[in-house]
Amino acid sequence: MDKNKWAGHLSAAGAYIIFGFNIVLNKDIANSGTVSPMVMFALRAIGATALFWLLSLFLPKEKVSGQDFALIALASFLGLFVPQMSFLFAIAIATPIDTAVLGALTPVYTMLFAFLFLREPISLKKAGGVALSLGGALLLIFNSTHAAGAVSRTQPLGIVLLLINGLSFAGYLGAFRPLISRYSVVTFMKWMFLFSLAYCLPFSWGGLLHTDYAALTSRLAWEVAYVIFFATFVAYFLIPVGQKHLRPTLVSMYSYLQPMIAAALSIAVGMDRFTWQKGLAAVMVFVGVFLVNRSRAAGTNS
């Protein structure tokens, strides 16, 4: 495997490991009631926009074509605004297990979108790898102990929002790889987050001004900081690196690291225990990723 592929795998894995912790922390922030989902999204957009534009000052300037601005605006809507907003609202009205199960479908959606938009063939090896990893993720989810959240039952709106979340982000992964390949990660993401900030500010301006930030406990403040810096700036720096070097379905399959992180956290703090089912689930996930990585895309050797 060449260095670019290694960079792609490590970046995708790193991003989804960060997202794994992000799910737990966002649930805690949402349950506190101190920071609304809309304000949390705005804080993420403000922080990431500022950091990416600041970083761009130290890098060579890149000119973005007018046509690509329109595409980046659409990519921002599908890849940032819709997924983050739907997730932040859903997390407060959905149980952890339903959130994990519906999230596990994202690689399936991505495989279909990559076929529709990029004409990537759905080979038997690729479909089998996705199915095997999906089965492993579901086996892990249903054999893990899930901490109780603010709700004991997922509301119908929560299911709708989680479906929108998965479909929107899968559409972004499946359709915009050619666009991402034309620019550096920092150039692409600084415009992505600027458009995302423009989308959310009209809805969040009042909340940003009236949120009682002094009511944040030190723990919640650190959780918000993690979400802004690691789960937004760092993770969304890593995702495009993965997109540049790996096919969309393979990038999305690293999302199966999220339930593995949640299970590992539960075991580490004594809320759950390791079983043979969890070991088998982990093996299934990694073998599935290996099969998709070994499947061949049309016109490529990857």
User: How confident is the model over 182-196, as pLDDT tens digits?
Assistant: 999 999 999 999 999
For residues 150 and 235, the model is more confident at 235
User: Is 72 contained in some domain?
Assistant: yes
Distance CA 12, CA 236 (A): 10
User: Is 137 contained in some domain?
Assistant: yes
Q: CB-based contacts of 227: which residues, under 8 Å, 6+ apart?
A: 22, 25, 26, 29, 40, 44
pLDDT at 298 over 60: no
Q: Mean pLDDT for the chain?
A: 91
pLDDT at 220 over 90: yes
The answer to whether residues 141 and 104 touch, using CB atoms and an 8 Å cutoff, is: yes
DSSP 8-class letter at 95: -
Q: Which helix (H) or strand (E) holds 183?
A: none
Burial 57-91 (b: 16+ CB within 10 A, else e): eeeeeeeeeeebeebbbbbbbbbbbbbbbbbbbbb
The answer to whether residues 200 and 45 touch, using CB atoms and an 8 Å cutoff, is: yes
Number of domains into which the chain is organized: 1
User: Is 301 contained in some domain?
Assistant: no
pLDDT at 299 over 60: no
Q: CB-based contacts of 279: which residues, under 8 Å, 6+ apart?
A: none
**What is the per-residue pLDDT for 88?**
84
- Residue 165's domain comprises 3-294
User: Is 302 contained in some domain?
Assistant: no
Distance CA 127, CA 129 (A): 5
Helix extents (H) in the chain: 3-32, 37-56, 66-76, 82-90, 96-103, 106-118, 124-142, 156-175, 177-181, 185-210, 218-228, 235-245, 248-253, 257-268, 276-294
User: Is 300 contained in some domain?
Assistant: no
Q: How confident is the model at residue 259 (pLDDT cuts 50, 70, 90)?
A: confident
